[in-house]
Amino acid sequence: MEVTLNIKKILEDINKTKPLVHHITNYVTVNDCANVTLAIGGSPVMADAIDEASQMASIASSLVLNIGTLNADKINSMIKAGKKANSLDIPVVFDPVGCGATAFRNEMSELLIKNVNMSVIRGNLSEILALSGKSVVTKGVDSSDISIKNLNEYLKNIAEKFKTVIAVTGKVDRITDGEKIVEIYNGCKEMSNITGSGCMCSSLIGTFVGANKDNIFEATVAAILTMGIAGENAWDKYKYEGLGHFHMGIIDEISKITPETIELNGNWNEK
Amino acid sequence: MEVTLNIKKILEDINKTKPLVHHITNYVTVNDCANVTLAIGGSPVMADAIDEASQMASIASSLVLNIGTLNADKINSMIKAGKKANSLDIPVVFDPVGCGATAFRNEMSELLIKNVNMSVIRGNLSEILALSGKSVVTKGVDSSDISIKNLNEYLKNIAEKFKTVIAVTGKVDRITDGEKIVEIYNGCKEMSNITGSGCMCSSLIGTFVGANKDNIFEATVAAILTMGIAGENAWDKYKYEGLGHFHMGIIDEISKITPETIELNGNWNEK
Amino acid sequence: MEVTLNIKKILEDINKTKPLVHHITNYVTVNDCANVTLAIGGSPVMADAIDEASQMASIASSLVLNIGTLNADKINSMIKAGKKANSLDIPVVFDPVGCGATAFRNEMSELLIKNVNMSVIRGNLSEILALSGKSVVTKGVDSSDISIKNLNEYLKNIAEKFKTVIAVTGKVDRITDGEKIVEIYNGCKEMSNITGSGCMCSSLIGTFVGANKDNIFEATVAAILTMGIAGENAWDKYKYEGLGHFHMGIIDEISKITPETIELNGNWNEK
């Protein structure tokens, strides 16, 4: 089961199909999510009204569900859109923002997973662990330092249990479909000093898998490589300016990324 | 019916009156909408609660209704605010974001137009065509390439039918009040690679017409010229940085625009 | 009652505790609010659902309530979160955005103050005056020029009446706990040409008091100094670029601020 990444083909498919990425997401980072979707060559649409959730999902290439600012209305829209996407074989990406912080987020995440088959679930480690039912102490939407024995095996098991690709982003990113597992060492710690680097990563995954439906695992790895490399390059360029320019710089770098950049700078390993 | 644009006077009236532009808008691009309103000299207020929609509209210089992330609650606020604005002769700008993509957006747009007299309706071509009842295939909130025979005549008819100024923005912008029609050739295609260039344009129109109530058509043309020229200049300046800086650059350029810049760079024709 | 500011200690306490700042806020400036919280060393969480408002508040270091885009649902969440914060001695910062503009905002502000003990209330002068029951003519969310005889005494009385720190930001910032009063002369008028400088300031206050609970007054002064100095420095650096870059520059400067910068550039006086 060796992993091979045809980055060139994956990016070409985005440019060729310009996937429509339907987001039901939070209002904190939504502008960045739309902008990275455009920057990499997709077309974002943000629509959460229950009256159109299903129809919008049906014309989309992928659906991104992000619970950053969840409420009862949005959950219903997410389930409706998710079921429609499932019925049409449209990939669904789930970002369980802040899972573990409140009972409401835990219960709603569980409800979503019960009702919608997710193609990819991306979160930080504490979110993914909380989602898996492991009790962890989280602090809001930020990841805490958690050490788990045999983490890779544990993540493979979650992926298998939920029949999905699991992507944990952090100092090391880990992506697994339950069989294969890839570790990525790109990115920089400053990315967690701006809001939205996780959400943006999920939107990139939505765009990549929307254009590469038969290749969900590899597309997810490519999306996370893109985010990490863009973050590194932006920090290199704007560290003396500060976090405002760094934030804009990440979107800059995503808009300029090429297969060659990713192949040259991608630092990953199959485990 | 020759069109003459007194750009200097139009901008002076904005600076003199600092129009309060009441927005009921989407949560994706709302920050940019507020910032361009300020950048050109207006004062934005975003308020969509049904409990204050009418009173906020009553103290405003203009009202901008944008259905980017519409839901049933917002529609009621829009109708209430719109009717109040109509009763006080306050101009209303309508941006039918994504009209044509879902039945909900089509029906709600129709409902809005039935209940509120719009001073200006701005959208991309597919949105305006969908609004006019023409069946078009749209893809989310992005404009598709559509060719219409005798487009200018068609748009004039819509403007006449809806008793409004119709502004279609795209490669060529077209603004008509049903009699006069102006084409604008400013702007650049990269503006559609960031989210919000359409919404920002509608907010500029809101600001321009809020300060130029007796001159709605000319104010709309001037606002779209401003947006196009700001976009061109920002792309010139930031194309090597990337889309993040380009995004900020558009707001930069709007904040620095002068009557002279518009007169010198404005590329438009009456048809 | 001489005011002494131990800026070094105040900033150190933020870095040591990384306070979790729970926001129930508006969707216009929410991204900036999250980013400045991170930039100064805090951890933001935005959560307004009634189902989790109380639990999220209970794990936070401070709570920021901002009524920029208020509605009936959010008010209930604010009261619930505020009461929980009060019961746990977690500081609450209130930003009465646009108070005075509509009856709804006035009534809801009154309701909030009746139900929640605020540690700090920050607004522009017209908002604070409206909150105090003084009838003023406001224009949307912008401050009008108002002259009040014995303003400092008047503000002290409001602080005493509401048992809170009152912070009025404007050309001169005034912070009082009912006994002491400090005037700050930092900042620049261009800060009101971008949206969110008030909201960002309230989020900074939330972060500062979250890490300095026993020192609310001094922490508030330090937060407002930080905002003012960051604004000045950003304008110095980006005035020729324009308002888009200035906006990002403010976040840059907050992320780079040091105790030395504040001590060197802080321009304030006890009155």
**What HEC string does A46-74 produce?**
ECCCCCCHHHHHHCCCEEEEECCCCCHHH
Strand, coil or helix: A265 = helix
Q: At B174, is the pLDDT very low, low, confident or very high (cuts 50, 70, 90)?
A: very high
- Non-local (6+) Cβ contacts of B75 within 8 A are B108, B111, B112
> Do A123 and A131 contact (CB within 8 A), yes or no?
yes
Alpha-carbon distance of B70 to B67, in angstroms, equals 5
C49 to A69: CB separation less than 8 angstroms, yes or no: yes
The two structure tokens encoding residue A154: 């544990």
pLDDT, residue A148, reads 76
CATH 1.10.20.10 fits B7-270, yes or no: no
A104 to C256: CB separation less than 8 angstroms, yes or no: no
Q: Judge whether C3 is closer than 8 Å to chain B, CB to CB.
A: no
Indicate the residue of B44, B52, B256 with minimum beta-carbon distance to C242.
Answer: B256
C140 to B31: CB separation less than 8 angstroms, yes or no: no
| Residue A145 pLDDT > 60 | no
**Using a CB-CB distance cutoff of 8 angstroms, which residues of chain C are in contact with residue B43?**
139-142
Q: Judge whether C98 is closer than 8 Å to chain B, CB to CB.
A: yes
pLDDT, residue B118, reads 98
Domain boundaries, chain A: 7-270
Higher pLDDT, B202 or A134: B202
User: Would strands A181-184 and A268-270 be described as parallel, antiparallel, or unpaired?
Assistant: antiparallel
Torsion of CA B138, B142, B144, B146, to 10 degrees: 90
> Do B120 and B94 contact (CB within 8 A), yes or no?
yes
Backbone φ, ψ for residue A76 (5° rounding): -65, -40
Alpha-carbon distance of A57 to C8, in angstroms, equals 52
Q: Which segments of A are annotated as binding site for substrate?
A: 46, 196
| Residue B234 pLDDT > 80 | yes
Residue of A nearest to B243 (CA): A252
Segment 218-247 of chain A within 8 Å of chain B by CB: 247
Per-residue pLDDT of chain C (271 residues; tens, 9 = 90+): 689 999 999 999 999 999 999 999 999 999 999 999 999 999 999 999 999 999 999 999 999 999 999 999 999 999 999 999 999 999 999 999 999 999 999 999 999 999 999 999 999 999 999 999 886 655 555 555 566 779 999 999 999 999 999 999 999 999 999 999 999 999 999 999 999 999 999 999 999 999 999 999 999 999 999 999 999 999 999 999 999 999 999 999 999 999 999 999 999 999 9
When mean pLDDT is compared across A203-212, B107-116, B153-162, C133-142, the lowest value belongs to C133-142
What average pLDDT does the segment B173-192 reach? 98
Strand partners, A182: A175, A270
> Do C78 and C54 contact (CB within 8 A), yes or no?
no
Tens-place pLDDT, residues A108-127: 999 999 999 999 999 999 99
Residue of A nearest to B194 (CA): A35
Tens-place pLDDT, residues A60-105: 999 999 999 999 999 999 999 999 999 999 999 999 999 999 999 9
- Non-local (6+) Cβ contacts of B41 within 8 A are B11, B14, B15, B18, B207
| Residue A1 pLDDT > 70 | no
pLDDT, residue A141, reads 55
Indicate the residue of C27, C48, C252 with minimum beta-carbon distance to A242.
Answer: C252
pLDDT, residue C130, reads 95
Q: Judge whether C104 is closer than 8 Å to chain B, CB to CB.
A: yes
Which helix (H) or strand (E) element contains residue B203? helix B197-210
The reply to whether the predicted model has a pTM over 0.80 is yes
The two structure tokens encoding residue A252: 């800059």
Indicate the residue of B22, B35, B50 with minimum beta-carbon distance to C194.
Answer: B35
The answer to ipTM > 0.90 is yes
The two structure tokens encoding residue C134: 């003084």
Indicate the residue of A30, A247, A251 with minimum beta-carbon distance to B242.
Answer: A251
CA nearest neighbour of B225 among B171, B167, B268, B166: B268
Q: Judge whether C34 is closer than 8 Å to chain A, CB to CB.
A: yes
What is the maximum span of chain A, computed from C-alpha positions, in angstroms? 49
A243 to C31: CB separation less than 8 angstroms, yes or no: no
Strand partners, B184: B173, B268
Alpha-carbon distance of C121 to A210, in angstroms, equals 46
Q: Judge whether A133 is closer than 8 Å to chain C, CB to CB.
A: no
CA nearest neighbour of C213 among C3, C10, C6, C43: C10
- Exposure of C103 by Cβ count < 10 A (0-12 exposed, 13-18 middle, 19+ buried)? exposed
Residue of A nearest to C60 (CA): A140
Indicate the residue of C68, C105, C244 with minimum beta-carbon distance to B250.
Answer: C244
Q: Which chains touch A (3 or more CB pairs under 8 A)?
A: B, C
| Residue B144 pLDDT > 60 | no
| Residue B136 pLDDT > 70 | no
Length of chain A: 271
Task: Provide, rounded to the nearest whole percent, the portion of chain B with pLDDT above 90.
Answer: 92
A251 to B241: CB separation less than 8 angstroms, yes or no: no
What average pLDDT does the segment B145-158 reach? 85
Q: At B134, is the pLDDT very low, low, confident or very high (cuts 50, 70, 90)?
A: confident
The two structure tokens encoding residue B156: 């004039």
pLDDT, residue B137, reads 58
